Amino acid sequence: MNCIIIGAGNAGRPVARLLNHIGHDVTITDPKKLENFHEDFQGNLLIMENEGVTLDLGNLTPDLSKFDYVYAAPTLPDNSPAAIAIKNSDIKIISNDDFGRIVNKLIKPDIIGITGSVGKTSTTHIVDSMFRSAGYKIWKCSSMNQNLVSEVIVDGIIKGLPDKADIAILELPHGTAGLMGELNLKVGALLNIYAEHLSEFGGSMERYIQRKMFITKHSEKLISSTQCKDILKDIRPDTLYYGMVNNLPDNENTDLFKKLKTDKILISENQVCNFIGESGQNSIKIGYNFEDKNDCFESEFHMMSYYFENALAATAIAMAYGLDLKYIKQGLKNFKGLAVHMEYMGNYNGREVFIDASYLIEGMKATLEFFEDKRLVVLLDNFDTTTKRDKKETGKLIGKYADVMIATGFNEPYQKVFMEPAEELLNAASDSNAEKILAETMVDGAEMCIKYSLPGDNILHLGPQLMQNYESVRNKIVKGLEEGCKKYE
């Protein structure tokens, strides 16, 4: 069929590329010219052109008359010339559900799909570690491959990666879920739902939740944290729930679990969740009660902070799939963490430095609690990427833990300095005694971290820009730290 894709953004590109791959004649059009796209997206568009997609960029009024089918990006304004042209034509429309069914047919192995607001990437990689320990050939797609997972999935299909795998483990952010919500999942996991990306849903938390609910329709087995229980209890009463001991209601009031003298965790008959975890020193303890299985185990686990809850989620996913416990333990032992998630950068003139891409309140709180009794300098991204975020709650939270707050204004997606978000973060911490510093760039901010700290302090970077361009942001932090060490020994 002869197809036109309206919009060369995050939805249009993967649709155009995959339709071209399966043999259709595809044109992708956009009002923006090629040079006006981010350089990464320019590269993707040129790859598509080389594969046979026709690029019609810089066109405000595309001609639909020679096409049989159209796909319109969800962000296409109703009053745009293209939207009006579609409405006034008899052209057949390709929906996101249509595209999702195409993707589903092209992925043959069992699929494990992981969605939620926080922890998707870490959980995806811990699950991967478990299945690799058992000798499975894995096709894994996550935001560590590329920020836009839908493009990672399409790229993998084109390269034939699913056909070489025994199992597919897919991180499914809300954008990917919008395109690929028709995937049939052997095990689906909804980790949590917090207010995030609401600007993309007209400010509606309800619409954001509904986007995540795709996981309930197409998962043979569904895993979720207890945080989502009120949402899921009527939709999927067979959901298997997990929760960390310190996040569950008090034992005396709910009788959720019993701790035996052997210090094993068991779950009571009045269970609220099927998997309970407890963090230890280089270990994690997990009790489980589902189907005909009721026991507990302890495993080596050398991570910290929010990794424990993600490890519990990964264990629930692997056990629900049927993976043997010995491989789950080996996968937990083998997992060494991820770049951008509590990544240790080294010692700079006596300061221990960590970087972390957390930007939601829940994730940041788990990270900051690790430094609760230590002197802490926090280096902050511009918290607005292409999504505008609540800086008031963020600044207030960080002010409770930080001795010094350094907020930067550089925005990676736009490659420009916007100081207003940085000012909002610092102003929100008005009740904090933390010293507050503004810096235009990440290099300047990292340099200030040395200037305003002392040997023995901890320096922690927080914010979403790392996920936009990991190498660039990391290198800027290192450069600034090194310059600071030279200037402020």
pLDDT digits (tens, 9 = 90+) for 86-125: 988 989 999 999 999 999 999 999 999 999 888 888 999 9
Which of 181-195, 240-254, 264-278 is the most confident on average? Answer: 181-195
Mean pLDDT estimate for the chain = 89
Domain 99-334 has CATH 3.40.1190.10: yes
What is the spatial distance between Cα 438 and Cα 381, in angstroms, rounded to a whole number?
11
Q: Average pLDDT for residues 215-241, to the nearest whole number?
A: 91
Q: Is the pLDDT of residue 23 over 50?
A: yes
Choose among 123, 117, 316: nearest CA to 221.
316
Helix (H/G/I), strand (E/B), else coil: 439:
strand
Neighbours of 121 (CB within 10 A): 22
Alpha-helix runs per DSSP H in 345-410: 361-369, 391-401
Residue 147 — pLDDT band, cuts 50, 70, 90?
Answer: low
pLDDT, one tens digit per residue, over 297-332 is: 999 998 876 789 999 999 999 999 999 999 999 999
Lowest-pLDDT choice from 8-17, 172-181, 283-292? 172-181
Of 115 and 197, which is predicted with more confidence?
115
Lowest-pLDDT choice from 37-41, 98-102, 269-273, 470-474? 269-273
Choose among 227, 201, 198, 228: nearest CA to 215.
228
Handedness of CA 157, 161, 167, 170 (dihedral sign): negative
Q: Average pLDDT for residues 376-382, to the nearest whole number?
A: 95
Burial bucket for residue 347 (CB in 10 Å: 0-12, 13-18, 19+): exposed
Handedness of CA 98, 103, 109, 113 (dihedral sign): negative
Within 8 A by CB and 6+ apart from 214, the residues are: 115, 177, 181
Strand partners, 244: 277
Choose among 133, 111, 114: nearest CA to 123.
114
pLDDT, one tens digit per residue, over 421-449 is: 999 999 999 999 999 999 999 999 999 99
Domain ranges of the chain: 2-94, 99-334, 343-487
Provide the pLDDT for residue 262.
44
CB-based contact 321:291 (threshold 8 Å) = no
What is the spatial distance between Cα 10 and Cα 226, in angstroms, rounded to a whole number?
32
Write out the H or E segment, with its range, that includes residue 18: helix 12-21
Q: Tokens for 100?
A: 């999702």
Burial bucket for residue 462 (CB in 10 Å: 0-12, 13-18, 19+): buried
Q: Average pLDDT for residues 36-51, to the nearest whole number?
A: 89
Provide the pLDDT for residue 263.
53
Name the percent of the chain lying above pLDDT 70. 92
Lowest-pLDDT choice from 173-177, 192-196, 229-233? 192-196
Choose among 450, 346, 372: nearest CA to 406.
450
Q: Tokens for 49?
A: 């052109």
Match domain 2-94 to its CATH number in 3.30.70.1060, 3.40.50.720, 3.40.718.10, 1.20.1050.10: 3.40.50.720
Residue 252 — pLDDT band, cuts 50, 70, 90?
Answer: very low
pLDDT, one tens digit per residue, over 327-367 is: 999 999 999 888 778 888 999 999 999 998 888 787 788 78
pTM over 0.85: no
Choose among 147, 214, 210, 222: nearest CA to 186.
222
pLDDT, one tens digit per residue, over 266-299 is: 665 556 789 999 888 889 999 898 888 888 899 9
Residue entry with tokens 């020193």: 281
Provide the pLDDT for residue 208.
74
Q: Is the pLDDT of residue 401 over 70?
A: yes
CB-based contact 311:317 (threshold 8 Å) = no
- CATH class name, domain 343-487: alpha beta
